[in-house]
């Protein structure tokens, strides 16, 4: 495919001078409209051959538009804070909020290509990485991002000439490094791998635009025009590739679900409870201090029926750990900064470094639970969330995270009993709000949402554990025991 | 002073068991009240002798209260992202928002003490560091934070016994490291330096509470009670040490100010402007790519009269730089997350790493300009801001930052001309809002605020440059030239 971009495209200085002022003004206007509406973020990826004018083009874009509302990020070496988290964490933290333009240099597509060219990975791993990119960009597009990807291409001959010319000029010599020449030797391989990568990750919602990098005039106008068209189209309400999820299957005809078989009769008396508590808290504590844990992390998700005892169970877990090594993240309504970002952003920002534990008190599952049932998000938003969540958790486990998810459940009668108890107790009645009563009325809707959630997101890597919690002692020990087992198995 | 904490305080298990449930319940209640009101954050510093039960006390606090709303941070080795920023950056990012409790282990007081004990610094440097701490905590208190500082003490004999006991028990052996024994050898010196540090940083708004660490029962109750008292007192509206700033002196009787002498007659014709632009942009570009710059950073502040040309001047500066190395931060109203933090927090979060440039389009000076004139903050808030800002900028320059601040100013007539021009132009009228006209009515108030700002915050390390901007060409070149001079002088 690159042959079409070795034609020697060229635009004369005169034609450029004639076209540039108008393009510039229109881009600026579009940028201000974007900024004012704040409907979506713009993500511009920049990749391609060295010496093809990537940096210069980005500088031109910054000059044409208002640079105060553009965020440019170049991804070089990872910082140690980045290395200790899933691969995509550094990109998540660089995403532009709604209304702004983010220009990302050498972002998520770079490593898979370079690793393959260097022979550090094989075809299968490349394929896998590209699939992940497709999913990720799909999610961004579904979240409303306008994604533009520019690939700057040069033929082998032109690249060599260009690197030489840059080196010869004292003003530009700094831009050519040894790495550039080393990479040049791998041109053919780089070209072949890039071609595969571009083809596989060029999608309707995030297409690659290949730009011939030989002539600056051509390069700048090509990128500027493409950006302007995309911005205008989108600002005018141009169709965003709408995802149409299939309808969910109806609940099983025989009424059997993952929840219907739960045995609520388990009980644990005070004495054996105390013994077990000491045992498993001790075990968990030791596990969290093992040397092997220093390169892993633990992510615990607590979800559950209202009044199922999430808070008190979490305290039994955190009580086993050193406060210096865990964080508990209670998930409530998103903040303003979080609302300006894709849904999962607010969870990414809290991911633990290695050797640490993060406990989520409610989590990203809100989307397929409360947001689904209360219709806070659209049908298609929560439908695609199953897939997005599975991929998210896969990234967590791939980075060495141990992900354990608990659904604490009580019977409807037991919930009522606990609500009434809370009403009566002066210390507990702050825990009972009108929302709890409203949710209770939607018991069946919630149950259905929970069943589907578990069916679709309980994976071998990040399984759900349904914990019958009518008896609190029993539930707490089950949770602790499960945690010990999962962590021990992982180390 | 430590003698009073070697008395062997002890509380029997029975007395402890009698007191603990009530304390616990009251602490929890106070915590929920704090959380609900969200009036202020609570910062708990934990320091002291190794083996005195610091970690255990923190774990107890997490167990007594709701750990979901406590953020615990232990500061060990710096990450590389932290090392490349001013020393206090890592603490700013760990501050709890309003309504939450932050427990900070080994925070800002630790390095000054350890450095002095190890002989890496002398008395003068210790003194300086302690003064900085006093200022910092003063600011936090002024911003409304409730600050509690606990120092866990053990006599030399008891510490030795305790370290030995911890080592003997396989369950606790991991907690004693070589560093602990190395430090123990320095006990006397550590004690002496700590005593100085505690005395100098114990203030009315952030006092140290020394806790004898020998007996766990005593330790837990002492800390728990102190925390409860402070929380309750503050929640009940207990007096926060109110800072009473002196009144500002009236404007000079003869009407002379830093602005009255500005010469607005400078002009620069198109041709010499273009030559100068190329020259200084080139110079700035080269400077920013010098090897020496990689361990420095550049922080540029743009403030100015409305319509003075901040935006277009910023573009001339950013146009000289590589987009991968700068960020422009436009400062508008703070977000929700920013409002839950001390005033300067939202600037700290944007500080550049080394080798990078951050351009602030409006800045922390908003507090002594718009917030002062429009009375968005109290008299005492903006009065103390001068001092806080000076200290902030001192920290920036100490960490290798080059701080350059520009005040772009035009005459009142020229402003009117530009406002009218904007009204007429279809591309510019979005830049003119009713706020601009309102601000113009307060011209004199703003002028006075600006004069005082410059008088009080123009320091040798971070000077203000007043740029007459009636002629835009002249202003832009002055800014670029100044930047080149400042950076060149710093490298």
Query: DSSP for B221-274?
Result: HHHHHHHHHHHHHHHTTPPP----PPPPPPPPTT---TTTT--TT----HHHHH
Question: What DSSP designation does B420 have?
Answer: H
CA neighbor of A288 nearest in space, from B342, B404, B174, B239:
B174
| For A360, nearest residue in chain B (alpha carbons) | B68
By Cβ distance, the residue of A32, A71, A171 closest to B430 is: A32
Structure tokens at B415: 């402003």
Counting one residue from chain A and one from chain B, the pairs whose CB atoms sit within 8 A come to 110
**Per residue of chain B (491 residues), what is the pLDDT tens digit?**
787 777 778 889 999 999 999 999 999 999 999 999 999 999 999 999 888 889 899 999 999 999 999 999 999 888 888 988 988 999 999 999 999 999 999 899 999 999 999 999 999 999 989 998 998 999 899 889 999 999 999 999 988 988 888 888 877 777 788 878 888 899 999 999 998 898 889 888 888 888 988 899 999 999 999 999 999 999 988 545 444 444 555 555 666 778 888 899 999 999 999 999 999 999 999 999 999 999 999 999 999 999 999 999 999 999 999 888 999 999 988 998 998 998 999 999 999 999 999 999 999 999 999 999 988 888 888 888 888 898 899 999 998 999 999 999 999 999 999 999 888 876 666 677 888 888 899 999 999 899 989 988 988 889 999 999 999 999 999 999 999 999 999 99
The verdict on a CB contact (< 8 Å) between B319 and A63 is yes
Residues with Cβ within 8 Å of A227's Cβ and at least 6 positions away in sequence, in order, are: A27, A44, A61, A148
* Three-state DSSP state, A3: helix
The verdict on a CB contact (< 8 Å) between B315 and A67 is yes
By Cβ distance, the residue of A67, A314, A325 closest to B68 is: A314
Q: What is the pLDDT of residue A243?
A: 44
CA neighbor of A380 nearest in space, from A245, A215, A239:
A245
Token match 């002539």: residue?
A215
CATH for the B270-490 domain, from 3.40.1410.10, 3.40.50.11260, 3.40.50.720, 3.40.50.300? 3.40.50.300
Token match 């440039």: residue?
B357
Cα distances from B318 to residues A25, A75, B266, B467, in angstroms, run 18, 20, 24, 18
Helix H or strand E encompassing A18: helix A13-37
Q: What is the CA radius of gyration of chain A?
A: 27
Token match 């020393």: residue?
B87
Q: What is the distance in angstroms between the Cα of B107 and the nearest Cα belonging to chain A?
A: 13
Q: What is the distance in angstroms between the Cα of A172 and the nearest Cα belonging to chain B?
A: 10
Query: DSSP for B271-317?
Result: HHHHHHHHHHHHHHHHHHTSGGGGG-EEEEEEEESTTS-HHHHHHHH
Residues with Cβ within 8 Å of A392's Cβ and at least 6 positions away in sequence, in order, are: A344, A347, A364
Across B35-107, the runs of DSSP E, i.e. the strands, are 42-48, 70-74, 101-105
Rounded to 5°, the CA angle A307-A308-A310 comes to 95
By Cβ distance, the residue of B69, B74, B282 closest to A330 is: B69
Q: Boundaries of CATH 3.40.50.300 in chain B?
A: 2-235, 270-490
CA neighbor of B312 nearest in space, from B197, B460, B199, B428:
B428
Residues of A in contact with B430 (CB under 8 A): 32
Cα distances from A5 to residues A151, A196, A259, in angstroms, run 10, 16, 58
Q: What is the distance in angstroms between the Cα of A335 and the nearest Cα belonging to chain B?
A: 7
For A303-338, write each residue's pLDDT tens digit.
Answer: 999 999 999 999 999 999 988 899 999 998 899 899
Q: What is the pLDDT of residue B251?
A: 59
Task: Identify the sign of the CA torsion B22, B26, B28, B29.
Answer: positive
Longest dimension (CA), chain A: 89
Residues with Cβ within 8 Å of A421's Cβ and at least 6 positions away in sequence, in order, are: A428
Query: DSSP for A251-313?
Result: PPTT---TTTT--TT----HHHHHHHHHHHHHHHHHHHTSGGGGG-EEEEEEEESTTS-HHHH
Q: What is the distance in angstroms between the Cα of B379 and the nearest Cα belonging to chain A?
A: 29
Fold adopted by B2-235:
Rossmann fold (3.40.50)
The verdict on a CB contact (< 8 Å) between B29 and A74 is no
The verdict on a CB contact (< 8 Å) between B62 and A319 is yes
Asked if residues B300 and B358 have their Cβ atoms less than 8 Å apart, the reply is: yes
- Top residue of A98, A103, A107, A324 to mutate, by most chain B CBs within 10 Å, is A324
Complex confidence, ipTM: 0.73
Give the ranges where A359-471 is alpha helix by DSSP (H): 370-373, 379-398, 412-424, 434-441, 443-457
- Top residue of A323, A353, A362 to mutate, by most chain B CBs within 10 Å, is A323
Q: What is the pLDDT of residue B172?
A: 75
Asked if residues A367 and A451 have their Cβ atoms less than 8 Å apart, the reply is: no
- Top residue of B22, B31, B67 to mutate, by most chain A CBs within 10 Å, is B67
Query: What are the residue ranges in chain A where pLDDT is below 70?
Result: 238-255, 426-430
The verdict on a CB contact (< 8 Å) between A79 and B74 is no
By CB neighbour count within 10 A (0-12 exposed, 13-18 middle, 19+ buried), where does A333 fall? exposed
Structure tokens at A281: 């808290």
Distance separating alpha carbons of residues A98 and B308, to the nearest angstrom:
28
The verdict on a CB contact (< 8 Å) between B71 and A327 is yes
Phi, psi (degrees; rounded to nearest 5) at B9: -55, 140
Distance separating alpha carbons of residues B204 and B240, to the nearest angstrom:
10
By Cβ distance, the residue of A29, A289, A335 closest to B337 is: A335
By CB neighbour count within 10 A (0-12 exposed, 13-18 middle, 19+ buried), where does A388 fall? buried
This prediction has a pTM of 0.79
Q: What is the pLDDT of residue B170?
A: 79
- Top residue of B68, B73, B292, B336 to mutate, by most chain A CBs within 10 Å, is B68
Distance separating alpha carbons of residues B386 and B391, to the nearest angstrom:
9
By Cβ distance, the residue of A59, A103, A330 closest to B322 is: A59
Q: State CA A408 to chain mean position distance.
A: 26
> Which residues make beta-bridge pairs with B360?
B301, B329
By CB neighbour count within 10 A (0-12 exposed, 13-18 middle, 19+ buried), where does B250 fall? exposed
By Cβ distance, the residue of B32, B171, B323 closest to A59 is: B323
Structure tokens at B310: 């901040």
Q: What is the distance in angstroms between the Cα of A249 and the nearest Cα belonging to chain B?
A: 37
């Amino acid at each position: 495919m690159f042959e079409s971009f070795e034609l020697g495209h060229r635009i004369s200085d005169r034609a450029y001078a004639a076209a540039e002022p108008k393009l510039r003004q229109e881009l600026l206007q579009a940028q201000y409209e974007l900024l004012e509406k704040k409907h979506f973020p713009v993500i511009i990826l920049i990749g391609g051959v060295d010496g093809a004018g990537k940096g210069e083009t980005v500088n031109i874009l910054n000059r044409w538009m208002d640079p105060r509302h553009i965020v440019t990020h170049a991804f070089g070496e990872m910082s140690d804070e980045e290395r200790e988290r899933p691969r995509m964490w550094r990109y998540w933290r660089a995403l532009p909020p709604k209304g702004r333009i983010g220009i990302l240099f050498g972002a998520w597509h770079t490593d898979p290509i370079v690793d393959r060219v260097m022979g550090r990975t094989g075809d299968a791993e490349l394929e896998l990485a590209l699939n992940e990119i497709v999913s990720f960009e799909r999610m961004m597009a579904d979240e409303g991002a306008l994604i533009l990807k520019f690939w700057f291409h040069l033929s082998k001959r032109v690249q060599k000439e260009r690197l030489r010319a840059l080196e010869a000029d004292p003003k530009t010599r700094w831009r050519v490094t040894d790495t550039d020449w080393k990479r040049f030797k791998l041109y053919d391989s780089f070209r072949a791998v890039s071609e595969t990568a571009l083809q596989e990750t060029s999608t309707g919602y995030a297409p690659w635009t290949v730009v011939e990098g030989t002539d600056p005039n051509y390069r700048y106008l090509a990128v500027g025009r493409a950006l302007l068209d995309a911005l205008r189209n989108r600002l005018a309400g141009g169709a965003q590739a709408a995802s149409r999820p299939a309808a969910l299957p109806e609940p099983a005809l025989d009424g059997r679900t993952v929840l219907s078989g739960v045995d609520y009769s388990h009980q644990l008396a005070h004495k054996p409870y105390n013994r077990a508590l000491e045992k498993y808290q001790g075990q968990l504590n030791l596990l969290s201090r093992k040397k092997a844990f220093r390169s892993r992390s633990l992510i615990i998700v607590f979800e559950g029926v209202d009044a199922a005892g999430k808070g008190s169970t979490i305290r039994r877990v955190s009580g086993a750990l050193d406060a210096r090594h865990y964080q508990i993240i209670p998930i409530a309504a998103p903040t303003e900064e979080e609302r300006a970002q894709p849904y999962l952003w607010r969870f990414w920002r809290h991911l633990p470094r290695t050797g640490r534990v993060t406990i989520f008190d409610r989590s990203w599952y809100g989307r397929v639970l409360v947001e689904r049932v209360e219709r806070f998000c659209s049908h298609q938003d929560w439908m695609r969330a199953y897939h997005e969540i599975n991929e998210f958790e896969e990234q967590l486990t791939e980075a060495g995270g141990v992900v354990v998810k608990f659904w604490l459940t009580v019977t409807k009668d037991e919930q009522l009993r606990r609500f009434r108890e809370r009403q009566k107790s002066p210390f507990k009645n702050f825990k009972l709000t009108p929302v709890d009563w409203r949710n209770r009325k939607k018991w069946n809707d919630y149950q259905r949402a929970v069943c589907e959630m578990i069916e679709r997101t309980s994976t071998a890597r990040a399984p759900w554990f349904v914990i019958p919690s009518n008896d609190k002692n029993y539930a707490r020990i089950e949770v602790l025991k499960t945690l010990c087992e999962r962590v021990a198995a992982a180390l």
